[in-house]
Amino acid sequence: GPEGAGGGPGGPGTRFDEMYRGRRIQGVLTGPGDRAAAADPRWQVTVDGRPLHLMRRADGTWLSMVDHYRSYPTPLEAARAAVDELGPGEQLRDTAHGHGGTHQGGHRGLHA
């Protein structure tokens, strides 16, 4: 599968890089390589080079800024679901510019 693919440091399950429905999804597990990181993993995920912000729920599942109502077992599955929600010509909003790095609502994190 795509998890663990992409080369570079880290073992299986620490990164993914795939084309899904014509969009490039990439993710890498970040943070220190200790037990705390395993208990509270942090992922940097992008869709077509734009950041997809994920949150981990208390039950260990993941949700994205695109869909706050469903959760997924893995960051990759959450990213695929975000791609499923993107319409033709829509891209993820770059929240780092002009939005203080946080999701401000409206159009589900998307723009045309």
pLDDT at 10 over 90: no
Q: Return d(Cα 62, Cα 31) in angstroms, integer.
A: 17
Provide the residue ranges of all domains of the chain, joining segments of one domain with +: 1-87
Total-model pTM: 0.70
- Hey, what CATH topology would domain 1-87 get? protein ne1242 fold (3.30.1880)
pLDDT at 90: 82
pLDDT at 112 over 80: no
pLDDT at 28 over 80: yes
Confidence of residue 61 (pLDDT cuts 50, 70, 90): very high
Residue 41 backbone phi and psi in degrees, to 5: -65, 145
